[in-house]
Every structure is written in structure tokens, then in C-alpha cells.
Structure 1
């Protein structure tokens, strides 16, 4: 059944959401835990992932150690840089975890959750779920990812987001499997409900603009302050709207191998500092906590 596009959304009649601390702006920090799940000849794939610090120079079928090491840095170094900064700031975030990455380093996934962060499903491999042509195969991989995360961390994930686009039936599968929220949405500033014959699923929108992946885009961020200033501008706009009674949610995305690098990490620290400065005017929370509140106030 084709997915019907909704170009109207809430329109002018947007929900009046007051977040638990009295603010009208919720901020979700998201870290992608996917290194080791990307395409790699080392894993038996026909080719190497080409989206990275530099494009892979190896032809299909030839192992690319350079690209592997670009990804490896995220787990070996970037992860600890993020966890230390979050601990210093007493900030809780959501880690989108690929099942294959957790399978390879379950102790690192466990360290994330022990530090107080939420685990969420990010697909078995770092690949779009739109590539699934078989509903059963996709369901099995979602279950497998959920279960490997639960075994490694002791926490059963309730949220989902795939790289890129979903399949036509991904949301129905998530509903059937009892997921609380789906984050594959770039179409709103507020959570909303997706209705289908399978039931209702809460959608927590994400953002690709307030995201460090733009350091890898030719027309994207270059200096750390490019990213932190852009995020600051987004928050300033939402706070200005909040003063006129408009509620919103903002997602800020990080990758261990991107902003985990020393030069770019300055952006992470600047963003964390700005969030602390705005305490009381914004609510910084995990996606699970945001979903729990929305489920109470938006029917």
C-alpha cells in the first residue's frame, strides 16, 4: 500500500505543548552509533561505504583500510570524548545504534547506557530500509537489532530510525512490534501521530540541517563554529516563537567519527554550553522522555 503524503500536517492548529520543565522548546541530542555496521569488503560486502571523510579510492571487491579506519576512529576515540562531555554537563542523549555495530562491541554499547543514555534502533546495518523488498526480512532485522541491543545494554529500545528512507511497510512493522516512536521524519517541528489499520505510532521528527554530517558535504560546515552557530540560530528562532505561544522540538545530530574529531568537537562543547545557558527556556531530554510526555498530552 503506497504511503500517502501529508502536506498539511497540523496547519495553524498546532498542539499547545508545555514540556515538563515549563518550556515550550524541547531539544533532543542524538548520537549515531553505527561504526562497524557500514558497507565494507571486510564484512563480505561487494564494496566499501563511500560516504566519509574522503571518498573511498578502492574499486568494488577491494578492501579499503583507510575508510575502515575513518569509521573505527569513532568507536576507538570519539565515543569516549562524547561520553565525557555529556557526563561533565550532566546531559542525557539518545544513541541510535546499528545492530551489527552493537554485536561487534557490546561492551561499548553497554557503557553508553550505563552512562545514562537511551539506546534506539538504527537498523541492523547502516543502510536505508527502503532497500528491503521483503517485509519478513525487514521485520526479522528490526527484531534482531532490538534484541542484540537489549542483550548488550540491559535496556529494550523503544525508538527507531533508519539511515535514509524507510520501506513502505516500516512503520506498520514498528507498530506491530510495539515500538513507542519512529524518528524517520523531516517534515515538522513537533511530534505527531501516524495512523494506519495496524494502529497509531508516534513520530518524533528529526533534522538533517542541525546535523554534523554537513561537515562531510561540499556546501556544508567547515569550521566548528559553523555548526554551533547554525544550531544556535535554530534555537533562537524557536525560543522567539515560543514567546508567542508556539511549541516545538529540535533535534541535533552527531556522529562519533565526525564531531568526535578534535577540531570539530569544539562545536559539541559550544552547543552543550549554549543549551546550559538556556536552561529553563528549553527542555533537553532523550527521545524516549519526549515521546512519553507527548503521549500524555497529544491524542
Structure 2
């Protein structure tokens, strides 16, 4: 029997942004008030071109002009987000807005209302009709800086955080974000604690952002019902409260106004967020920037 010599395997390509670190072996600390679990709500407010570019669709395969899906997306900013704002106020829950900067021209009243309510405004690109994957470095740098400057002009300060549209990056996105002055990003979903990412000129904080407790991935992507999604939020909170006895953790919930802002889905969200609000003595409910700032102070930078 003749055996052929197999080639030696090449080393697996690695990103180099962070090292492996078991959550059980990290320094201990607590969130403000001695709390062990920090919670933040991330509300995506997005603006799309009409019938151009990429889009989140409710119903696939509709021919152009796709009035059904375009108007469904518009419902989020015209109705859903306003109902959600009322709910957040009713439950006294802080929120982190992840906004497309094009919203300042499309519906400035909406951002102003959340601003008045004390929401953090974080960057979510220019529009979700595009993503930066495939951009050359100069084009991506221009996008990142233009979004920063647009938010700063309206809010008085530049955004601390960034979430890439469609979680799409290039090989240099964290480098460019750090160089543009962003303090944290949410694209990397590998942990239940903030994690420092290496960049070519320093480091930037990765904040936990959920791809499971996320109405887009769950309800649109996996066709999970609103009742089950609400149960997921409650179960995530209860289990993470238990796990946080051993290590301080961050729980986040990702929402999209055109999805969870539909009344029949919001009925179940109301139950889930009401439960979180009732448990605030057992956790720290804050904005993403507040959690990032506290973590940086605890980690010595």
C-alpha cells in the first residue's frame, strides 16, 4: 500500500485584535453600587434610500418599486420609535441610540426627542443602504469621520461609540475608528465583558452587542415570535444575574424601531422591559457609554 505524504498545514490566519482570555481568569471588579450585572438597551434608528442599495426586508422578492418593504421600514421612524420612546420614559430606562447620520436630515424631530429624554447618541454609519466592507481605506476614513462630525455638530460632542451598518468591517475598521477618536465599538460579539481591541496606534474598547438578543436576527432572521423574543430577554437577564455572581457581566438588548415597534410585538417587549425595570435593584441599567467609562476606570486607563 502506497501512502502519499500530506502537506504540513499552514498556520491558521488570525485577526490579532485580542488574545484568548477565559472569563473565569480575569480580575474582578463591580459596577457602580456594587452591582454585578450591567444592562444597556441599544435602539437602532436607521434610514434607507428608496429602492436603492441594501435593505432589511419584511417580505423578500417584491419587485421594484418595492413599496411594501420601503414603507415598512419607514414605519419605524414615523411611529415605532415614538412608541418606544414613550415606553422607555414610562419605565425610566436609559437608552443608547445607534443612528444613521442621515436621520438628521430625514427626521430631526425624532433624534431631538430622544436627546431631550437623555439618550446617548452613538454612530451607526451614514445609512443602512450601504456598508463599508470593500471600501478602500481613504473612503472608509472619510465615512467614519463624516459621521462623527455630523453627530458632533448636532449633539455638541462627538459620539463615543460606533456600530458598523450590517456589522460589516474592512481589515482596518478598528484602526480608523480609534484614530478618529471613537472610544468603543460594538461590531465584535465574542464576550460578556468589554474587551480591549488592538489597533495599529493604540487600543479601542469592544462593547458587548448581541446577535442573539437582537430583534433583527431573532424575529426577521430566524422567524422567532415576539412572545418568545420577550422570553429570551427575561431568561438572558435571569441567567446572567446568576452568572454575574462570579464575574461582572454586561447584558445588552438590540432593538430596531420598525421591528419591535410594531404594536403586537411591543406588547411583549413591554412585559420584558417591565421585568428588567423591576429588577433594577439587582443590576445597573445604564447607557453603553456609561458602562464603557466605568470599565475603563476599573481597568486603569
**TM-score scaled by length of structure 1:** 0.89
Quote the residue 1:98 is aligned against: 100
Quote the residue 2:298 is aligned against: 297
Write the distance in 2 (CA, Å) between the matches of 1:27 and 1:138. 31
Write the distance in 2 (CA, Å) between the matches of 1:158 and 1:9. 25
Quote the residue 2:220 is aligned against: 216
Superposed, 1:189-268 pairs within 5 Å as: 189-213=192-216, 214-217=218-221, 219-222=222-225, 224-243=226-245, 245-268=246-269
Compute the displacement of 1:278 (Å): 1.2
Assess if the C-alpha contact under 8 Å between 1:21 and 1:280 holds in 2.
Answer: no
Q: Pick from 121, 137, 144: which aligns with 1:142?
A: 144
Assess if the C-alpha contact under 8 Å between 1:259 and 1:267 holds in 2.
Answer: no
Quote the residue 2:289 is aligned against: 288
Q: Unaligned regions of 5+ residues in structure 2, if any?
A: 1-12
- Closer, same or farther in 2 for the Cα pair 1:181/1:5, shift >3 Å? closer
Quote the residue 2:20 is aligned against: 8
From the CA coordinates, give the structure whose radius of gyration is larger: 2
Quote the residue 1:29 is aligned against: 41
Number of aligned residue pairs: 285
1:19 aligns with 2:19: no
Superposed, 1:10-159 pairs within 5 Å as: 10-34=22-46, 36=47, 38-41=48-51, 45=52, 49=55, 51-58=56-63, 62-126=64-128, 127-132=130-135, 134-159=136-161
- TM-superposition CA deviations, 1:66-95 (whole Å, max 9, x none): 211011100110111011111111111101
Write the distance in 2 (CA, Å) between the matches of 1:198 and 1:67. 42
Q: Pick from 179, 200, 207: which aligns with 2:182?
A: 179
- TM-superposition CA deviations, 1:203-228 (whole Å, max 9, x none): 102111111111112x3421x22011
- TM-superposition CA deviations, 1:250-291 (whole Å, max 9, x none): 110110000100000023211221112211211111001001
- TM-superposition CA deviations, 1:155-177 (whole Å, max 9, x none): 42110011222111111011111
- TM-superposition CA deviations, 1:91-149 (whole Å, max 9, x none): 111010012233322232122111110001101121333232x1111111111112222
Q: Unaligned regions of 5+ residues in structure 1, if any?
A: none
Over the residues paired in the alignment, what is the CA RMSD in angstroms?
Answer: 1.9
Quote the residue 1:278 is aligned against: 279
Aligned partner of residue 131 in structure 1, secondary structure:
coil
**TM-score scaled by length of structure 2:** 0.89
Aligned partner of residue 284 in structure 2, secondary structure:
strand
